[in-house]
Structure 1
């Protein structure tokens, strides 16, 4: 039996249950292989926007919800911070959803004493100034990217290759997309600085990152549509960003002193 990963805290966001491009199977595999004290769900766990268009709820999506509730009932603290795609759940802020706590936002204190602002990130959209026309083009282009991503990985599986995000590869090579990401990251750090905090943990833009910006820690735990990433803090206070598909990879890691640690393939099960 594979030894489980152990973390003090993990962060997941942008799972988009109810959306056809959600990679629920990879998330289920991760949740079955991790032990932690606390899980923060940082928004867009359920995609109510997608479900309004088309009702899509396969067994794997139900199993993710059931697994999270099982962990919450078994001693893991689970805190849910709704995002824009599951915004109606914000009406239940400071209440319990079964064993799961609902918060609008929260502040997390790391093992080493850093205080990090946690929110989904959609409150920063006002800083990304797009006209309605640009916004519509962006939505259509993103749908096309996900369509291409779906078929690219269909053929990769047929040839025994592991999952790879074509959508992310293309986005990172579009100058305007990179500019939007930079503006978002800078706005997130400014908000944390405005509140006198040491950094921020968020999601929303589907761009995983773990780095320092202007002396503050910026953490984006990514998503489970394109990247299949999760952020974790070890008991020793090291922050790690993992990619979890057939080939589990440590993307980035920061020691408690802010120095980068090595990134490598995790010593876990991999596709043959």
Structure 2
């Protein structure tokens, strides 16, 4: 297998590559952080924009009793266009499979880019349980609904033509983001997301984010839960809306973020810091305790 691609696209299977690869190539563990649960989504393994090396660093220094993969873990759309499967992508998948084998409870909720796995929901594959949705019970008793969020696209997109145009513009933005990262890395600067910076300053993008959040919250209110974790739109957020916590764990293409539940009952929005080689807390609040107004604000 080449470092950058695999020639036999028709028969390429990411899980087969990870299972048959030599496990000794995995980096050694150096546990620095421990959590009760982690939520990760929109990793996009198989995409040239995936920040697999950052995620691998996170997984090798973090231990969690439960890990929830909330969709778009493997970018089948990108792999159908061109098989891109470098060593770091394979190592991430190997690490997740090894964690499942060693006893970490891993639930995988497929999204739109890995929707082929939706036909395997309610099955146990490679030590990982597949589901369309799942409810996690926190240490403090709160129930958290998790779903990818692609089912709400029809409530967010103004039209199919507008959505298609948005996808093309986003691809251009990711290309520029990738090139800027290469330049900054060569100059010794840490990772910084141009894509996230631009998106937060486009009014139409902000409106779409608000519509998406509202759609997710409307559904969560029908499920008798205290919180909802989703992904899909690559916009990390932790906020409170009429006694329901909205948590978007972001992505590993632009933001390198995740949601975590600590053993002391805190829900945290974390971002991987390339410079510090560890996670940094963006927002947090104690479960079962009314968050202060500071934590009700949307993540910038």
- Fold in common (TM above 0.5): yes
Q: Is the 8 A contact 2:31 2:60 kept in 1?
A: no
Q: Is the 8 A contact 1:149 1:165 kept in 2?
A: yes
The alpha-carbon deviation at position 5 of structure 1 amounts to: 0.4
SS of the aligned residue for 2:111 comes to coil
SS of the aligned residue for 2:284 comes to strand
The alpha-carbon deviation at position 3 of structure 1 amounts to: 5.1
Instruction: State the distance in 1 between where 2:293 and 2:283 align.
Output: 7
Partner in structure 2 of residue 98 of structure 1? 126
Partner in structure 1 of residue 16 of structure 2? none
- RMSD, aligned α-carbons: 1.6
Partner in structure 2 of residue 259 of structure 1? 291
Q: In the superposition, relative to structure 1, how do residues 250 and 261 fare at CA in structure 2: closer, same or farther (>3 Å)?
A: farther
Q: Is the 8 A contact 1:253 1:261 kept in 2?
A: no
Partner in structure 2 of residue 233 of structure 1? 261
Instruction: State the distance in 1 between where 2:217 and 2:203 align.
Output: 21
Instruction: State the distance in 2 between where 1:183 and 1:71 align.
Output: 36
After superposition, the C-alpha distances for 1:56-107 in whole angstroms (9 at most, x for unaligned) are 0111111011000111111111111111110110111111112111111111
SS of the aligned residue for 1:244 comes to strand
Matched, 1:249 2:277: no
SS of the aligned residue for 1:125 comes to helix
TM normalised by structure 1 equals 0.93
TM normalised by structure 2 equals 0.84
Match 2:191 to one of 163, 185, 198: 163
Aligned length: 263
Within a 5 Å distance, the mapping from 1:117-128 to structure 2 comes to: 117-128=145-156
Partner in structure 2 of residue 266 of structure 1? none
After superposition, the C-alpha distances for 1:131-172 in whole angstroms (9 at most, x for unaligned) are 122112101110111011011111111221100010000000
Q: Is the 8 A contact 1:193 1:199 kept in 2?
A: no
SS of the aligned residue for 1:242 comes to strand
Match 2:39 to one of 11, 33, 46: 11
Q: Is the 8 A contact 1:116 1:192 kept in 2?
A: no
Q: Is the 8 A contact 1:16 1:47 kept in 2?
A: yes
Partner in structure 2 of residue 270 of structure 1? none
SS of the aligned residue for 1:69 comes to helix
Q: In the superposition, relative to structure 1, how do residues 73 and 190 fare at CA in structure 2: closer, same or farther (>3 Å)?
A: same
Instruction: State the distance in 1 between where 2:196 and 2:157 align.
Output: 22
Structure 1 residue ranges without an equivalent (≥5): 264-272
After superposition, the C-alpha distances for 1:17-42 in whole angstroms (9 at most, x for unaligned) are 00000000000000001011000000
Structure 2 residue ranges without an equivalent (≥5): 1-28, 296-300
Q: Is the 8 A contact 1:203 1:222 kept in 2?
A: yes
Match 1:62 to one of 81, 87, 90: 90
The alpha-carbon deviation at position 214 of structure 1 amounts to: 2.2
Q: Is the 8 A contact 2:134 2:147 kept in 1?
A: yes
Q: In the superposition, relative to structure 1, how do residues 261 and 214 fare at CA in structure 2: closer, same or farther (>3 Å)?
A: closer
Q: Using the TM superposition, name which of 190-199 and 73-82 deviates more.
A: 190-199
Instruction: State the distance in 1 between where 2:102 and 2:71 align.
Output: 22
After superposition, the C-alpha distances for 1:171-227 in whole angstroms (9 at most, x for unaligned) are 000000000001111111110102222121111000011110122100111100000
